[in-house]
Amino acid sequence: MIKNLSTIKKDFNTILKEDTAYIKGDLKHLAKYFFKRQDKFIRLAKENKSPFYIFDQKEFDIAINNFAKTFTRYIPRLKIYYAMKSNPHPYLLTRIVKVGHNIDVSSGRELAIAAKLKPRSILFTGPGKTEDELQLALKHTDRVILNIDSFTELSRIGRLAAKHKRKISAGIRIFTPLHGLWSKFGIPLNDLSTFWKEAQKYPYIDLQGIQVHMSWSDNAEPYIKVIKEISKYLMLNFSKTHRASIKFLDLGGGFMPYKTEGIHPWSTKQGAVINAIAKASNKQIDFSDSYYFEKTATLEEYAKSISNAVNTYIAPNLSCDIFVEPGRILSTYAMHILLKVADVKSTKKIITDGGINIIGWEKFEEYYAPVLNLTHPSTTEIPCTIFGSLCTPDDIWGYSCFASKMETDDILLIPYQGAYTYTFRQEFIKSLPNVVKL
């Protein structure tokens, strides 16, 4: 059945021994922080029909500020493009524009929404852009930078731009051997020089930069590696004049929020292997901890290391702006979810009035987020499975609750749930809740 079992066996053994990829800790301080503000949330729960999303502008502002301040301190030529795919609610988008940042979009639909808000600049990145989407980009050449995804797209946009006589600013997305499945996007770094020359054939394309994106980067290492590779490539393959035409290097998003949620032991690499072995041998496994934190860099660590790499490898050879496309590191903090206890089936089995269609995926089977009982607050957690009210057992919010007890109608808050939840929401069985401003 398996061709390369011996190599896999070796990997299995390494993973089983690996105990260092995660760190212990808890989120008691987060519970305390939100319990301090509990009156505000309780008032909202009285005024609105549960369940609902809460937009928390104060927390969003803090996240934007922290990110912008820390990154610009280390990288003065930084431009921030908020990745709206992580949460496109108008409250977030208008706030981003109001505080002077830009928007990163990935479809014509997102572009249409962003353009109405008139941010200074919009990056349009994504594979397989349709003719309609490219036409829309051409309507907004005053603010759009099109990150081209392939040679085919170059000729398509080149032809369209010439037809409409509209000059468009552009970048080219590249991937390197580090990118794995993410090599679906862009062209191989090795083709960059050919692409750059090819683009010069299109008078209405103003190619200005290079874009690269890596997802879920726990630390700055992937950014550093890719900066090094791009710089090495440019030194070998681009003349000084060609290098001078590069106006931006766009490093994408992928920055992880710092310790806002944990990962359950069975979802760690080691835990998954142990679980699979236990299942195959009909054994029950009890994990010793309920969650761990992934080793994620702080903002300071990301910014400092990326700045070092930029200063060492990029700045001496080309003078360009650095773009970033942060999504989750900003939107995580912008929204919380409020639910009520609909039924206490036993002390260990709680049913809430909201299903995980609110967040669109079975996130909390894998990840831990604190569930706070605002009606019966406590800084210790009661073990209980908190289900939603959908007709599926995967409808789980968590396996414990910061509560002194659990009763019907109790108000529950799950803080910092703004990223890739509201975006993924779906009308599965239940309708979608409202977004309420705090």
Ligand X SMILES: Cc1ncc(COP(=O)(O)O)c(C=O)c1O
The only residue of 56, 59, 104, 110 in contact with ligand X, by rule CB under 6 A: 104
**φ, ψ for residue 252 (rounded to 5)?**
70, -160
Please tell me whether residue 327 binds ligand X under the rule CB under 6 A. Answer: yes
* Residue 102 contacts residue 80 (beta carbons within 8 Å): yes
Rounded least distance, CB 424 to ligand X, Å: 12
Rounded least distance, CB 144 to ligand X, Å: 15
* Residue 317 contacts residue 243 (beta carbons within 8 Å): yes
Please tell me whether residue 153 binds ligand X under the rule CB under 6 A. Answer: no
Task: Determine the residue type at 229.
Answer: E
The only residue of 222, 262, 326, 433 in contact with ligand X, by rule CB under 6 A: 326
Please tell me whether residue 74 binds ligand X under the rule CB under 6 A. Answer: no
Closer residue to ligand X, CB minimum distance, 63 or 318: 63
Helices then strands (H, E): number in the chain? 15, 21
Rounded least distance, CB 39 to ligand X, Å: 32
Rounded least distance, CB 81 to ligand X, Å: 8
Residues in contact with 391: Cβ distance below 8 Å, sequence separation at least 6, in sequence order: 429
Closer residue to ligand X, CB minimum distance, 26 or 221: 221
Among 328, 264, 315, CA closest to 82: 328
Among 63, 54, 106, CA closest to 332: 63
Give the pair of three-digit tokens for residue 60: 């969003």
Classify 173 as helix, strand or coil.
Answer: strand
Please tell me whether residue 254 binds ligand X under the rule CB under 6 A. Answer: yes
Rounded least distance, CB 403 to ligand X, Å: 31
CA distance 368 to 259: 11
Please tell me whether residue 158 binds ligand X under the rule CB under 6 A. Answer: no
The only residue of 119, 186, 209, 253 in contact with ligand X, by rule CB under 6 A: 253
CA distance 286 to 251: 41
Give the pair of three-digit tokens for residue 79: 């431009």
Classify 40 as helix, strand or coil.
Answer: helix
DSSP letter at 190 equals G
Please tell me whether residue 213 binds ligand X under the rule CB under 6 A. Answer: yes
Please tell me whether residue 121 binds ligand X under the rule CB under 6 A. Answer: no
Please tell me whether residue 354 binds ligand X under the rule CB under 6 A. Answer: no
Classify 297 as helix, strand or coil.
Answer: coil
Please tell me whether residue 219 binds ligand X under the rule CB under 6 A. Answer: no
Closer residue to ligand X, CB minimum distance, 52 or 81: 81
Q: Of 24-32, 246-254, 307-315, 424-432, which part binds ligand X (CB under 6 A)?
A: 246-254
Over the window 32 to 71, marking each residue x when it contacts ligand X by CB under 6 A and - when it does not, the resulting string is: ----------------------------------------
Please tell me whether residue 79 binds ligand X under the rule CB under 6 A. Answer: no
DSSP 108-140: HHHHHHHHHH--S-EEEE-SS--HHHHHHHHHT
The only residue of 34, 255, 397, 422 in contact with ligand X, by rule CB under 6 A: 255
CA distance 218 to 255: 7
Please tell me whether residue 260 binds ligand X under the rule CB under 6 A. Answer: no
Size, binding site for ligand X by CB under 6 A: 16
Quote the strand ranges of 299-433, DSSP E: 321-324, 335-346, 349-352, 367-368, 372-373, 381-387, 396-402, 411-414
**φ, ψ for residue 211 (rounded to 5)?**
-120, 145
Neighbours of 82 (CB within 10 A): 30
Q: Of 17-25, 54-62, 69-77, 327-335, which part binds ligand X (CB under 6 A)?
A: 327-335
Closer residue to ligand X, CB minimum distance, 42 or 117: 117
Closer residue to ligand X, CB minimum distance, 107 or 375: 107
The only residue of 328, 368, 372, 381 in contact with ligand X, by rule CB under 6 A: 328
Please tell me whether residue 257 binds ligand X under the rule CB under 6 A. Answer: no
Please tell me whether residue 86 binds ligand X under the rule CB under 6 A. Answer: yes
Please tell me whether residue 215 binds ligand X under the rule CB under 6 A. Answer: yes
The torsion defined by the Cα of 38, 41, 46 and 48, in degrees rounded to 10, comes to -170
Please tell me whether residue 418 binds ligand X under the rule CB under 6 A. Answer: no
CA 393 to chain centre: 27
Which H or E run contains 98? helix 90-98
Please tell me whether residue 400 binds ligand X under the rule CB under 6 A. Answer: no
Rounded least distance, CB 104 to ligand X, Å: 6
Closer residue to ligand X, CB minimum distance, 370 or 418: 418
Please tell me whether residue 125 binds ligand X under the rule CB under 6 A. Answer: yes
* Residue 140 contacts residue 115 (beta carbons within 8 Å): yes
Rounded least distance, CB 198 to ligand X, Å: 22
Please tell me whether residue 83 binds ligand X under the rule CB under 6 A. Answer: yes
The residues binding ligand X (CB under 6 A) are 83, 85-86, 104, 125, 213, 215, 252-255, 325-329
